[in-house]
Every structure is written in structure tokens, then in C-alpha cells.
Structure 1
Amino acid sequence: MTDRRDLAAMLHPLVQSLVAAELPVLAAHGISMWGYAVLGALDDSSVRTQTALAEAIGADKTRIISTLDKLQHAGLISREPDPSDRRARILTITDEGRKVRRSVRAVIQANEARVLARLPLGDRQGFLRAVQTLSELSREDIVGPT
């Protein structure tokens, strides 16, 4: 047993501060945090249905409809009927959506680089590797069997 604080106790204030730093960047680009999550999911993978997208970003499929409406109205995504199931919609990021996502990510990651620069290079690289590895764990891997 160690005297260190729990991971959640250490990470929660850090994550809150990182989110607070992102909010003005997102606002300047006219998108919400959910909008950014949608653009990221669509830019990082193939075309998705609204249901699959909601699952991928951890959102309730009925609650992201207004986010999708705003992104579509802004020309950042397109939604077309699925030819194999007309009730479903196929989502695609547009070139403009890709441009906005990359612009936002560049500003966010520049701030992250500023914060990470407080760590020695080896610690910084190790921290990023560790966070990447842990972020790929499933919820069940973290929570354990229920």
C-alpha cells in the first residue's frame, strides 16, 4: 500500500482543467464538446450510423440529435439515409468539418504541449504512453466484473 492519492482523485482536477482550457477554443470555432467528439469519431473512422456514433462517443443517441443538427447546419457533417435501412442515417464528416476538427485539435494540443513541458522529456513520453494504454481499456477492464 502506498500513500499516493487514488488515480481518480489525481486525474479528475487535471481533466477538469483541461476541459476548461478547451471550452474557449471550441466556442471560438462554433462547436460544443459533444460536437468536437462527433467530428473526432467521424474523422478517425469510417462512416457510421447515428446509433453507432452515439455508442462510440458514450452519448445517448436521442440526446446527440441536436448536436448533429447543428453540425449539419454548419456544413461540418452530412447525414444521408442508409440505402439498406431508410430509418437509419449514415454520417460523414465534410471537408470543412475535418478542417475545423484539425484546427481545434492543433490549438488544444499546443496547450497540452505547454502543460506537458513541465515534465522531463522521458516522463512526458512515458506519461503519454501510459495514458494511451489505459484509455484503450474497456470499462469492464477498469470496473471489474459486476
Structure 2
Amino acid sequence: MLAPLLRELIAAEAPVLAAHGLTMWGYVVLSTLDRGAMRTQAALAEAINADKTRIIPTLDELQQRGYIERFPDPEDRRVRLLAITESGRAVKDAAQAEIQRGEERWLGELSLDERRMFLKALRRMAPDGIERRA
């Protein structure tokens, strides 16, 4: 039951992200970095459950657009710290707001009690680190 719903939600998000010049991975990276800087690209990849070599092009693109910064760790110059920029936060927030409006249309199909129970169940089942919105 969840797979078709998930496919529809992803399909609904794709044009929103495209309108903001983001890919799904780009949005995931920005959302994760908005919760705090990452010490390494490997740590970011682990946090978003992605292969560290496959996110490099996404990080390159986000950095080129000025949405993230990668800079040497002062304690270990071999390590690259990653952080979201104000520009990255602005584009992420704009895309997120539009996505949330779409989610509200879906949740609007439920009664208030159904909605509370549904969101409570999702929060309980969500892995740690997943953004939890009401």
C-alpha cells in the first residue's frame, strides 16, 4: 500500500524540485546540511544513506550554485567540512514550503483524528534523522 503512495508523492515532488533547480539528492543534501554541518563527505553520505562516490557530482553542483560550502577542517586539512549557505537554505526552504503545501492537500483527505494517527504512526516508524514535521 505504501509503494504506490510513495511513487505518487515522489512524482508530485519532482516538478517542484525542478522548478527550484534541485534534484531529489540535492534537496536531501540541503535538508540534511540545514540540520547541521557535516565533518566529511563520507559522514554526509552515511547520514543520507547514499554511496559517497555517487554524491560527489551533487555536491559539486550545489557548491557551484553557491548552495553549500566545502572547506578544509582546520584540525585536519585532509578533511572537507560541508555546510549549507544562506542561498542554499533559501532555495531549500522555498522548495520545502511548496512540497509541504502539496502534502497538506494529501493530508486534507483525512479527518483530524485520522491525520493525527497517521502522522503519529509515521513518526514512530521513521528512522532516526528523518525530518519530522507535523
TM-score by length of 2: 0.92
**Structure 1 consecutive aligned stretches of length 4 or more whose deviation exceeds 6 Å:** none
Pick one of 42, 45, 60 that aligns with 2:51: 60
Q: For residue 11 of structure 1, report the CA deviation from its aligned partner.
A: 0.5
Name the residue aligned to 1:123: 114
Give me the identity figure in percent: 56
Q: Which runs of 5+ in 1 are unaligned?
A: 1-9, 139-146
**Higher CA-based Rg:** 1
- Deviation of 1:125 after TM superposition, in Å, equals 1.3
Q: Which residue of 1 aligns with 2:100?
A: 109
Instruction: Give the superposition deviation at 1:46.
Output: 3.7
The higher relative CO (CA closer than 8 Å, separation ≥ 6) is in 2
Number of residue pairs the alignment of both structures matches: 129
Partner of 2:17: 26
| 1:92 matched residue in structure 2 | 83
Q: Which amino acid aligns with 1:30?
A: G
Partner-residue secondary structure (3-state), 1:75: coil
| Aligned-pair CA distance for 1:137 | 6.1
Q: CA deviation at 1:119?
A: 0.6
Residue pair 1:42, 1:48 contacting (<8 A) in 2 also:
no
Shift of 1:62: 0.6
Q: Residue 36 of structure 2 aligns with which residue?
A: 45
Give the TM-score, by structure 1 length: 0.84
Matched with 1:141 is none
Unaligned 5+ runs, structure 2:
130-134
